[in-house]
Chains A and B, each alone.
Chain A
Amino acid sequence: MSDAAAMSDYVIDVRDLRKSFGARKVVEGLTLQVAKGEICGFLGANGSGKTTTIRMLCGLLIPDGGAGECIGLDIIRQAPLIRQHVGYMTQKFSFYEDLTVFENLDFVASVYEMKDRAKAVQDIMVRMGLADRRDQLAGQLSGGWKQRLALAACVLHQPKLLLLDEPTAGVDALARRQFWDLIHDMAGEGLTVLVSTHYMDEAERCKRIVYLANGRIVVQGSADEVSSQSGLITFEASGEGIDDAARALRHLQGVEAAAVFGRSLHVAGTDRAALQTAIHSIDGDLKWEEVPPRLEDVFIHMLSAKGGEP
Chain B
Amino acid sequence: MKGYSWRRFFALLRKEWIQVRRDAMTLRIIIAIPIMQLFLFGYAINSDPKNLPTGLLSSDHSKYERTIVAALKNSGYYNIVPLASEAEAEEGLAAGDLLFVIAIPPGFDRAVDRGESPSILVDADATDPSAIGNATAALASLGADLQRDLPAIRQSEPQTPAFQFVVHARYNPEQLTVLNIVPGLICIVLTFSTLFVTTLSITKERERGTMENLLAMPVRPLEVMVAKISPYIVIGYVQVALILIASALFFHLPIRGSIPLLLFALGLFIGANLALGVLFSTISANQMQATQLAQFTLMPSFLLSGFMFPFRGMPLWAQWAGEVFPTTHAMRIVRGMLLKGNGWHEIAPELWPIALFALIVVTIAVRFYRETLD
Interface residues of A (CB under 8 A from B): 55, 58-62, 79-81, 83-84, 86, 88, 90, 92-99, 103, 106-108, 110-113
Contact = CB atoms under 8 A, between A and B. Distances in A.
B216 interface: yes
Contacts of B11: 107, 110-111
Interface string B360-374: 000000000001111
Given A94-B208, A110-B10, A113-B8, 18 more contacts: A59-B372, A60-B212, A60-B372, A60-B373, A80-B218, A81-B1, A84-B218, A93-B209, A94-B212, A96-B15, A98-B18, A99-B19, A103-B18, A106-B14, A107-B11, A110-B7, A111-B12, A111-B218
A107 B14 contact: yes
Interface of B: 1, 5, 7-8, 10-12, 14-15, 18-19, 22-23, 208-213, 215-219, 371-374
Contacts, number: 77
The 8 A-B residue pairs whose C-beta atoms are closest, nearest first, are A110-B11, A94-B213, A88-B216, A107-B15, A94-B209, A111-B11, A98-B22, A92-B209
27 contacts: A59-B372, A60-B215, A61-B372, A62-B372, A79-B372, A80-B218, A80-B371, A81-B1, A83-B218, A84-B218, A86-B216, A94-B209, A95-B210, A96-B15, A96-B19, A97-B208, A98-B19, A98-B23, A99-B22, A103-B18, A106-B14, A107-B15, A110-B10, A110-B14, A111-B217, A111-B218, A113-B8
B374 A62 contact: yes
Q: Which of A79, A93, A94, A106 has the most CB of B within 10 A?
A: A94
Contacts of A112: 217-218
A90 B208 CA distance: 12
Given A110-B11, A110-B14, A113-B5, A61 B373 contact: yes
A115 B219 CA distance: 17
A55 B7 CA distance: 26
Q: Which of A60, A108, A111 has the most CB of B within 10 A?
A: A111
Contacts of A111: 8, 11-12, 217-219
Contact of A90 (B12, B15, B213): B213
B211 to A, nearest CB: 8
A90 B1 contact: no
A26 B247 CA distance: 61
Q: Which of A80, A81, A103, A110 has the most CB of B within 10 A?
A: A110
B240 to A, nearest CB: 27
A300 to B, nearest CB: 31
Contacts of B22: 98-99
Contacts of A96: 15, 19, 210
A99 B14 CA distance: 11
Nearest to B220: A80
A189 B9 CA distance: 32
A78 to B, nearest CB: 10
Given A61-B372, A80-B1, A113-B5, A108 B217 contact: yes
Contacts of B217: 83, 108, 111-112
A86 B213 CA distance: 12
A139 B367 CA distance: 32
A84 B1 contact: yes
Contact of B216 (A60, A110, A113): A60
Contacts of A95: 210, 213
Contacts of A106: 14
A113 B4 CA distance: 12
Contacts of B215: 60
Contacts of B7: 110, 113
A60 B11 CA distance: 21
B209 A103 contact: no
A280 B217 CA distance: 60
Contacts of B218: 80, 83-84, 111-112
A83 B8 contact: no
A105 to B, nearest CB: 11
B208 A61 contact: no
Contacts of B212: 60, 90, 94
Contacts of A58: 216
A99 B17 CA distance: 10
Contacts of B373: 55, 60-61
Contacts of B14: 106-107, 110
A113 B15 CA distance: 15
A33 B362 CA distance: 42
